[in-house]
Every structure is written in structure tokens, then in C-alpha cells.
């Protein structure tokens, strides 16, 4: 278990300082020295190898090794190569990217420029969530300062490397967090995720090789170039010797903590701390002296932990050992003993039904029917058989059973799987109490008349 008291802030080092969003403050703290060293002393392949050897994994949700992802680009391609920085932070409970963009945008930009240098990208697009007006202003101001200082534009810092950066504001669609949905949106089309292959590294934005990385991921690149791969690997969790597919979970991580805790916020700690550590040592414990009932380990799409599972380590492998989808965005939402799992699951189903793009029939129909069933259960017309039907829906949609193009359906399914399987007694008790005459019914039932209910 990592010692959270032995590490100093890295990604959040400037957050809270006056004018931390300005180039002057960032440079006073040593900003852009890594960029100067890279373009002056290192070839792009040296930076790629540095990031690859660091073990950095994507912080946007999938956790794919960043350096390995970069190697998928065709090495002999004449260009252009594009870089898309995913700032469409729409996973419920997640706000770490917003804090980086608002309070330390130059850290993000230095990491982006270094990543573009390493991948030979000459144009970068920052795809930003529509609901972040301050982040938009701060990032645009930082981009303007970089052009003025020679960090962007033609011949960056007198080198042969040139880079242009553009901000693009999304239209508040969760699906645009999926990398090919983001690319489709950038091209001015409906954000329907693409069938893969071809993968973006081969044929992405405007049919050219494209890298898509997350805000926090490129912020880490700046520190890897600055401090070295060995420093990065000294933080976090080494690979599991019993799992050849586990490459380890290295580096500092930003954890979003919200819900029923005394001190919600964004905290930096090594990968591998437990949910209990995060709640007690950073969040000040459960609010009002109540007991924990459940926690979302990494955004609502990752599923649920029970109160007995709070010693789950928050690394890329930890939540999976407790039946969750993964670490996700490391956004921990805590629920105390007063929370109804019926309310939680209905709310979750409503979110994913609204955000499904509708391209894949299993996702479109599955999320819709899950919401209809949860609304009927909540309205007092549920049947015990509905719980098994909901689980059948959840087990039948998503990339993992091979029925959808993207992972939104998996994210919609995991809260259903975890909530019902881990809290089934509560669901059954609610159905029996609210529908004592019909809870054992197995024949088809009429659709719920929502108009009459309201």
C-alpha cells in the first residue's frame, strides 16, 4: 500500500497559487524547461522511448500504455499527423481535468507540445467540454501566451519542429469522450463512434494518423521528460507477477472525491491507494458520522463497491478484482447508509439512456428498456423477475460480449450488474413492499404510464 504522506504534489503543485494559470508563474516554477531540453537535445524517438519506459498509462479511463499507443503510428508516413487532446470530461463525478485546465493550463500545454514532438504531430486540437467556460478562457489565453513566447507556431524555440494548437468546444455529448466519436465530432459530423480497425493511429482525423490522449496523461508526460522514467516508475504499483497482462500502475494520480464525505475535492496521491485511505485521509471520513454503504471507484460507468470492499486499491487492476469494470477516471463517489440503491440505479440508467448515441441496437434498446424497467420498479409496479431481466440486459450489451462498437454500453451495464448482484436483498425487499400483489408475476405487464404518474 503506497505511503500517501511521503509524496509531494506534482500535478497539483501550482494549484492554489496566485495567478497559477499564467505563463509567468509557470516559468518561475521551472515551466517549459523540459520542452527546451527535448527540442534541443532529444530526438522525437528518444521522447517516445522515455514515455514508453516510464510505464505511463492513459488517465482517461482505458489505461492503455501511452508510449505503446504512440508506436502504432506509421513511422514512414509523410504527414500530416494529428494530435487530439481529449478534454471532454463528461464522466459523472470527474473534474480533475477541469482543475488542471483552469489552474495550471501551461502544464497541460507543455505536456501536449512534448507529446506532439514525440509523435511528429504538427497540428493539435483540444476538444473541450462545452460546460467549462473558465477552462476554455484559461486554455485559450495560455495558447496565446505560448505563441507569443515561441513555444507554438513555426520552428518552436528555433528548432525544426512546428506546431499549431486549436481549441474546439464540444456540444455537451458524453459519447464524444470516446476517441473516435470525438474525431467524428471534430470533423463536423454526428459523434457516432467508428468501427475499428482501422484505428485512429492509422486512419483518424481527416483520414490521417491521429493520436488521442487525455489531459492528465499529457500533463504526466511533462514530468516524465523533466524527471525521468525511473522517477515515474518509483511511484505507484509494480506489475502483478501472477498476471502477465498487468503492466503495472505507475506515477501520481489525481483522484476526484465527492458524495457523502466531509471534504470533497481533487486530491493527488500515488496509484494504488485504497478507497478507504482516500475517504479517511483526504476526505475526512463519511459526512455526519454516518456509515458508508457503497462507493463508485472511478466514475459511474465502473460500477459499485460495497462498504466491505473499501480496501480496494485504486490502481488499474484493483477495482477489477472486486467485480468492477476498472479504475476509469479515478472519480470516487461515496454513498452513505441513507442512499437508496433503487434511486441510484434509476438515476444511472437515466444517464446512460440519455447519452447513448443510438448507433448500436443493443445499446440503444438495452439502455432504454433498463430505464423503463427501473422506473416501473421505482413506481411500485416491479416484479422479482425484473431483476433477472435487468441482469440479462446488462450481460448482453457492450464491447465485451461483442455487441456494440464502443464501450458506452459496458459502462451502462456495470452499475446494473453490481447494484443488483451486490445489493439484491434491498431490491427484492423494495419490490415486495411496494408491489405485494404483483411481485411474483411473470407474465408480460403493461407499459408504465409516465403521464398518469405525474
Concatenating the DSSP letter of every residue in 152-194 gives: SBSSGGGSS--BEEEEEE--S-GGGGSHHHHHHHHTTS--PPP
**202 and 209 in contact (C-beta within 8 Å)?**
yes
Measured CA to CA, the distance from residue 408 to residue 421 in angstroms comes to 20
Measured CA to CA, the distance from residue 434 to residue 439 in angstroms comes to 8
**232 and 224 in contact (C-beta within 8 Å)?**
yes
DSSP 357-407: -S-SHHHHHHHHHHHHHHHHIIIII--HHHHHHHHHHHHHSSTTTT--SST
Sheet holding 292-296, edge to edge: 265-270, 252-259, 331-336, 292-296, 305-306
Q: How high is the pLDDT of residue 448?
A: 73
Written as nine digits, the cell of 324 is 468492477
**333 and 286 in contact (C-beta within 8 Å)?**
no
Q: How high is the pLDDT of residue 388?
A: 97
Measured CA to CA, the distance from residue 31 to residue 106 in angstroms comes to 8
Helix or strand holding residue 50 (H, E): helix 44-54
**83 and 121 in contact (C-beta within 8 Å)?**
yes
CATH architecture classification, 249-336:
Roll (3.10)
Q: How high is the pLDDT of residue 452?
A: 53
Written as nine digits, the cell of 308 is 466491505
Phi (first) and psi of residue 338, to 5 degrees: -85, -10
**Entry pTM:** 0.94
Q: How high is the pLDDT of residue 450?
A: 58
Give the largest CA-CA distance in the chain.
79
**Which distant-in-sequence residues (6+ apart) come within 8 Å of 390 by Cβ?**
370, 373, 374, 416, 420
Determine how many CB atoms are found less than 10 A away from the CB of residue 354.
10
Measured CA to CA, the distance from residue 353 to residue 369 in angstroms comes to 9
Q: Are strands 292-296 and 331-336 parallel, antiparallel or unpaired?
A: antiparallel
| pLDDT tens digit at each of 454 positions of the chain | 566 655 789 999 999 999 999 999 999 999 999 999 999 999 999 999 999 999 999 998 888 999 999 999 998 898 899 999 999 999 999 999 999 999 999 999 999 999 999 999 999 999 999 999 999 999 999 999 999 999 999 999 999 999 999 999 998 899 999 999 999 999 999 999 999 999 999 999 999 999 999 999 999 999 999 999 999 999 999 998 888 888 999 999 999 999 999 999 999 999 999 999 999 999 999 999 999 999 999 999 999 999 999 999 999 999 999 999 999 999 999 999 999 999 999 999 999 999 999 999 999 999 999 999 999 999 999 999 999 999 999 999 999 999 999 999 999 999 999 999 999 999 999 999 999 999 999 988 887 765 455 5
Which 8-state DSSP code applies to residue 86? E
Residue 64 exposure: Cα atoms within 13 Å on the Cβ side: 12
**326 and 319 in contact (C-beta within 8 Å)?**
yes
**Which distant-in-sequence residues (6+ apart) come within 8 Å of 5 by Cβ?**
none
Q: Where are the domains of the chain?
A: 11-234, 249-336, 341-453
Q: Which of 70, 61, 328 lies closest to 224, judged by CA?
A: 70
**120 and 39 in contact (C-beta within 8 Å)?**
no
Measured CA to CA, the distance from residue 40 to residue 17 in angstroms comes to 30
Written as nine digits, the cell of 4 is 500517501
Specify whether domain 11-234 bears CATH 3.40.50.11540: yes
Which 8-state DSSP code applies to residue 93? T
CATH code of 341-453, in short, is 1.20.1440.230
Measured CA to CA, the distance from residue 308 to residue 402 in angstroms comes to 32
- Using the structure block, give the residue that is written with the C-alpha cell 446494473: 416
Q: How high is the pLDDT of residue 172?
A: 86
Phi (first) and psi of residue 3, to 5 degrees: -85, 105
Q: How high is the pLDDT of residue 5?
A: 52
Which 8-state DSSP code applies to residue 206? G
Identify each DSSP E strand in 141-291 by its residue range.
164-169, 210-214, 236-237, 249-250, 252-259, 265-270
Measured CA to CA, the distance from residue 202 to residue 438 in angstroms comes to 55
Written as nine digits, the cell of 449 is 404510464
Q: Which of 126, 203, 157, 149 lies closest to 26, judged by CA?
A: 149
Q: How many helices (H) and strands (E) does the chain have?
A: 17, 11
**Which distant-in-sequence residues (6+ apart) come within 8 Å of 408 by Cβ?**
174, 175, 178, 301, 352, 355, 356, 357, 363
Angle at 365 between CA 359 and CA 369, to 5 degrees: 150
Amino acid at each position: 500500500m503506497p505511503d500517501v504522506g511521503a509524496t509531494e504534489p506534482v500535478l497539483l503543485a501550482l494549484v492554489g497559487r496566485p495567478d497559477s494559470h499564467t505563463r509567468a508563474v509557470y516559468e518561475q516554477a521551472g515551466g517549459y524547461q523540459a520542452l527546451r531540453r527535448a527540442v534541443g537535445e532529444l530526438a522525437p524517438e528518444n521522447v517516445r522511448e522515455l514515455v514508453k519506459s516510464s510505464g505511463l498509462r492513459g488517465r482517461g479511463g482505458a489505461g492503455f500504455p501511452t508510449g505503446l499507443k504512440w508506436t502504432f503510428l506509421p513511422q514512414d508516413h509523410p504527414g500530416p499527423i494529428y494530435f487530439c487532446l481529449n478534454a471532454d470530461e463528461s464522466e459523472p463525478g470527474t473534474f480533475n481535468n477541469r482543475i488542471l485546465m483552469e489552474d495550471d493550463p501551461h502544464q497541460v500545454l507543455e505536456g501536449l507540445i512534448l507529446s506532439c514532438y514525440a509523435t511528429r504531430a504538427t497540428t493539435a486540437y483540444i476538444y473541450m467540454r462545452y460546460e467549462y467556460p473558465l477552462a476554455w478562457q484559461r486554455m485559450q489565453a495560455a495558447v496565446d501566451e505560448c505563441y507569443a513566447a515561441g513555444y507554438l507556431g513555426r520552428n518552436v524555440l528555433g528548432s525544426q519542429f512546428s506546431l499549431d494548437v486549436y481549441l474546439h468546444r464540444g456540444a455537451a455529448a458524453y459519447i464524444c469522450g470516446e476517441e473516435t466519436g470525438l474525431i467524428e465530432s471534430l470533423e463536423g459530423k454526428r459523434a457516432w463512434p467508428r468501427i475499428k480497425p482501422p484505428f485512429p493511429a492509422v486512419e483518424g482525423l481527416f483520414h490521417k494518423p491521429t493520436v488521442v490522449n487525455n489531459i492528465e496523461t499529457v500533463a504526466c508526460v511533462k514530468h516524465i521528460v523533466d524527471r525521468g522514467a525511473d522517477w515515474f516508475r518509483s511511484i505507484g504499483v509494480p506489475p502483478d507477477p501472477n498476471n502477465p497482462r498487468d503492466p503495472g500502475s505507475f506515477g501520481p494520480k489525481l483522484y476526484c472525491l465527492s458524495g457523502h464525505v466531509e471534504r470533497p475535492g481533487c486530491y493527488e496521491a500515488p496509484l494504488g491507494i485504497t478507497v478507504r485511505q482516500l475517504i479517511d485521509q483526504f476526505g475526512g471520513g463519511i459526512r455526519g458520522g454516518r456509515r458508508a454503504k457503497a462507493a463508485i471507484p472511478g466514475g459511474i460507468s465502473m460500477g459499485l463497491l460495497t462498504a466491505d470492499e473499501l480496501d480496494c486499491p485504486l490502481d488499474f487492476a484493483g477495482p477489477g478484482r472486486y467485480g468492477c469494470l476498472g479504475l476509469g477516471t479515478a472519480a470516487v463517489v461515496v454513498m452513505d447508509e441513507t442512499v437508496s440503491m433503487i434511486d441510484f440505479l434509476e438515476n444511472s440508467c437515466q444517464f446512460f439512456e440519455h447519452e447513448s448515441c443510438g448507433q448500436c441496437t443493443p445499446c440503444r434498446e438495452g439502455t432504454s428498456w433498463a430505464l423503463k424497467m427501473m422506473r416501473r420498479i421505482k413506481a411500485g409496479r416491479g416484479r422479482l423477475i425484473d431483476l433477472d431481466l435487468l441482469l440479462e440486459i446488462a450481460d448482453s450489451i457492450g464491447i465485451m460480449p461483442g455487441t456494440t462498437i464502443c464501450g458506452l454500453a459496458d459502462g451502462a451495464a456495470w452499475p446494473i450488474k453490481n447494484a443488483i448482484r451486490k445489493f439484491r436483498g434491498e431490491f427484492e425487499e423494495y419490490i415486495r413492499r411496494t408491489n405485494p400483489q404483483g411481485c411474483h408475476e411473470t407474465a408480460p405487464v403493461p407499459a408504465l404510464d409516465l403521464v398518469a404518474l405525474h
